């Protein structure tokens, strides 16, 4: 298990849990558009430019000078009101550093203009931890996808389908959405047989996440997750 939040040498072919929260634990997403813009930047930088059509929200579009299709694989993600989780596989040296600089810079510029504010938005430097075992990786994906249960717990909604939460990659993992810039196959392959990934494997993953127990997962994952 790596030391907490200290890995800054992003090894080629390494998988990293990358995350950060707002300054003083303040919210980094204030409304639906904020979430959509962060996802827009992820899509923009992770999609083959030849496959990108016209952006319906042209007023918020930016010229992409770099592209990370093939450089970075986004394995899973979750956006929460005051923090985000990305699990990234780096295929070339320094890919994560450059990719996250593009994402964060563009999002903070958008956010400050949109909400008439100045200054930094995130708390300190980006946090990143190497995930070097499959067992940790699949449990980390469960932790990331189950994050929205914290929001549901603060309401009277009771049991809520995680697939109803629009700002995570869980829908890709259970086969109800297919964003090409998200790569669930890497983790789902753990649940698959030799014939490839199918609906039964997605159902097994859904059942795996269903049995999420926060304290048990935190104890197992230890240094791989965001401090409270």
Q: What is the pLDDT of residue 1?
A: 43
Buried b (16+ CB within 10 A) or exposed e, 148-162: beeebeeeeeeeeeb
Q: What is the pLDDT of residue 68?
A: 96
Residue 147 scores a pLDDT above 70 = yes
Which residue in this structure is represented by tokens 């990358």?
Answer: 18
Residue 16 to residue 25: CA distance in whole angstroms: 22
Q: What is the pLDDT of residue 218?
A: 78
Average pLDDT, stretch 51-73? 70
Please spell the DSSP secondary structure of 109-142, one letter per residue: HHHHHHTT--S--BSSSPEEEE--SHHHHHHHHH
pTM assigned to the model: 0.87
Q: pLDDT confidence of 174, banded at 50, 70, 90?
A: very high
Q: pLDDT confidence of 159, banded at 50, 70, 90?
A: low
Residue 158 scores a pLDDT above 60 = no
Average pLDDT, stretch 97-106? 96
Burial class (CB within 10 angstroms; exposed 0-12, middle 13-18, buried 19+) of 114: middle
Residues 209 and 170 sit within 8 Å (Cβ to Cβ): yes
Q: pLDDT confidence of 62, banded at 50, 70, 90?
A: low
Q: What is the pLDDT of residue 90?
A: 95
Domains of the chain listed by start with CATH number: 15-222 (3.30.70.1290)
DSSP 20: E
Q: What is the pLDDT of residue 86?
A: 98
Number of Cα atoms under 13 Å in the Cβ half of residue 167: 23
Q: What percent of the chain has pLDDT over 90?
A: 62
Average pLDDT, stretch 160-183? 93
pLDDT, greater one: 65 or 200 = 200
């Amino acid at each position: 298990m790596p030391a907490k939040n200290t890995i800054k040498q992003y090894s080629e072919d390494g998988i990293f849990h990358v995350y950060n929260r707002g300054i003083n634990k303040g919210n980094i997403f204030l409304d639906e558009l904020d979430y959509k813009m962060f996802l827009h930047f992820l899509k923009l930088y992770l999609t083959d430019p030849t496959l990108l059509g016209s952006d319906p929200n042209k007023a918020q579009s930016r010229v992409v000078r770099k592209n990370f299709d093939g450089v970075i694989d986004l394995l899973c993600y979750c956006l929460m009101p005051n923090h985000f989780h990305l699990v990234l596989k780096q295929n070339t040296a320094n890919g994560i550093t450059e990719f996250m600089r593009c994402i964060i810079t563009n999002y903070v510029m958008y956010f400050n203009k949109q909400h008439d504010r100045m200054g930094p938005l995130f708390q300190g430097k980006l946090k990143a931890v190497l995930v070097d075992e499959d067992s940790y990786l699949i449990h980390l994906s469960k932790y990331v996808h189950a994050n929205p249960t914290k929001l549901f717990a603060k309401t009277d909604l009771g049991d809520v389908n995680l697939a109803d939460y629009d700002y995570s990659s869980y829908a890709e993992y259970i086969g109800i959405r297919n964003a090409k810039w998200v790569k669930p196959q890497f983790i789902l392959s753990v649940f698959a047989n030799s014939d490839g990934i199918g609906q039964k494997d997605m159902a097994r993953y859904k059942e795996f996440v269903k049995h999420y127990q926060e304290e048990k997962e935190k104890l197992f994952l230890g240094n791989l997750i965001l401090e409270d």
